[in-house]
Chain A
Amino acid sequence: MKKLFSMSVALILLLAVTACGSKPAANDAKPADQPQQAATQPAAEKKEEQKAEFNYPEKNLNWTIAFGPGGGNDIMSRTIIDILKKHDLYSKDIIAENRQGGSGAVGWGYLNSHKGDPYQISSTSGSFITTPLVSDPGFNYESFTPVALMATDDMVLVVKGDAPYNTLEEFIEAAKTRDKKMAIGGIGAVNVDAILPWLLAKEAGFEIEYVPFQGDGENTSALLSNSIDAMMANPAEALGQIQAGQMKPLAFSGQVRIPQLPDVPTFIEKGYKSVTLPMPRGVVLAGDVPKEVQDWWVDTMKKVTETEEWKKYINDNSLTEYLLFGDDFTKYLEETNKVFRDVLIETGALKQ
């Protein structure tokens, strides 16, 4: 009797857990275009034979986000998913899942293990090129079906707000004359963050110490505490600091200036032609999917880039819009891969 009672308490407790769980979810169902709502349906994963006539999409889409929630890649993926849903561009559900780890190795590795599945998709970033180059995760950019390059990410070289130099020239001049090497911080050891300052130092003829950090927070606090002399920053993340005068931007690594930082010159303008290395933000499908599916997605992504929401996303996140579809994207990836490889071999990060 006593056991029965305890048991029923346990059951009620667990039932209460689930009951309470579903309540808030129901409350939240009211607002329109709830991103997660549609994703609650389980995915039908059973593979079917490819039919002769082209009928797409017939199933839910699995969107792998190779980075954690809240990061740049996550925000872009969720923006695109929202647009796809809001404009009814994808008729079935889209299930987004963060599979972070190993600078994208885990997420893209997952996508790579679903070769031939037309319902597996993911978005790319700078690590899409660098991770396969340096850590041999069993895939590279050729393992996937390219859909579209949507935008590129560039970085800005910043110094502390009260630093004695106001321009890139003054910074380089100081670097050449003083005894101690300039310490420039960035995220990761083998990344665009590390390559850009290295390219600048090489072309301008001074020496640097590159200090790798794990995340933006550590990097920023190192700069603000005067532990390092300069850092490579993501414009979207540094914009707040720049506006507040905590940081001074010296130069931007893109091909052209961005509207959010209109007064900041590019390295190219300043004569350092090699100091530009755009990181591709695009969309790829699993490898070996039918040509029709690739074409379907190329068309769909074209529609996405025409929406207001997309334009707002580009602007809010200080990205440079750069559109390439299908094979053009492949070509772009090939070239970028070659540039990254050459530089990494030259810096000694990659042994040949």
Chain B
Amino acid sequence: MKLAFSLFFFLFSVVFTALSLKFNFLTDSGRPDTGFFPLIIGFGLLLFTGLSVYHDFKERMKASEKSIYGKEMVWVAVFMTVFIFLLNILGSLISMILFIFSILLLFNREKMLQNISISLVIPIIIVVMFDFWLNASLPKGFLGFV
């Protein structure tokens, strides 16, 4: 896994450097142009992510500690993705209620009454605070309300 993460950064470096190549490195008068910093950063990244990949590959056999909660973490991340995705479809209030309720359903199944009250009260408080008091923008759904 550690190797995969190093590889991810290495791939990022490759793409970043490749994209940087299309910018001018120096201006006609020999000064740093648009591509100067991106290219230097790109090559620096290639060098150091390359080194990381090499080292992590050498050490790939080292046992890495596995967490029994890895699966649950993935669930949280997936729920977050769905939550953000729903913001502009269902509006923030309903999305928040659904998100909080699903997470609690996952971790706190035994206390349904508590779950329901939290997932209703917190989103309402947040909407009141952001929309009415702070007058900050909240994502609106299809139906045109927060």
Interface of A with B (CB < 8 Å)? 3, 7, 11, 14-15, 17-18, 21-22, 25, 36, 39-40, 42, 44-46, 95, 97
Contact = CB atoms under 8 A, between A and B. Distances in A.
Contact of B137 (A11, A15, A36, A97): A97
Contacts of B122: 14
A3 to B, nearest CB: 8
Given A14-B121, A45-B145, 6 more contacts: A17-B129, A21-B134, A25-B133, A40-B135, A45-B144, A95-B135
Contacts of B125: 14-15, 17-18
Contacts of A22: 133
A15 B122 CA distance: 9
B72 interface: no
Size class of the contact patch on chain B: 10 to 19
Contact of B146 (A7, A11, A15, A42): A42
Contacts of A45: 140, 144-145
26 contacts: A3-B111, A3-B114, A7-B114, A7-B118, A11-B121, A14-B122, A14-B125, A15-B125, A17-B125, A17-B129, A18-B125, A18-B128, A18-B133, A21-B133, A25-B133, A36-B135, A39-B135, A40-B132, A40-B133, A40-B135, A42-B131, A42-B145, A44-B144, A45-B140, A46-B143, A97-B137
Contacts of A21: 129, 133-134
Contacts of A40: 132-133, 135
A42 B133 CA distance: 11
Given A45-B144, A97-B137, A18 B131 contact: no
Contacts of B135: 36, 39-40, 95
A46 B133 contact: no
Taking chain A's interface residues, is the majority helix, strand, or loop, or is none over half, making it mixed? helix
Shortest 8 CB-CB distances between A and B: which pairs? A45-B144, A46-B144, A21-B133, A14-B125, A40-B132, A18-B125, A18-B129, A39-B135
Nearest to B131: A42
A97 B131 CA distance: 12
A161 B144 CA distance: 55
A245 B33 CA distance: 36
B127 to A, nearest CB: 9
A17 B134 CA distance: 12
Which of A36, A40, A42, A97 has the most CB atoms of chain B within a 10 A radius of its CB?
Answer: A42
Nearest to B108: A3
Contacts of A7: 114, 118
Contacts of B144: 44-46
Contacts of A3: 111, 114
Contacts of B133: 18, 21-22, 25, 40
Contacts of A25: 133
B94 to A, nearest CB: 15
B73 to A, nearest CB: 23
Nearest to A99: B137
B17 to A, nearest CB: 24
A25 B129 CA distance: 11
Contacts of B111: 3
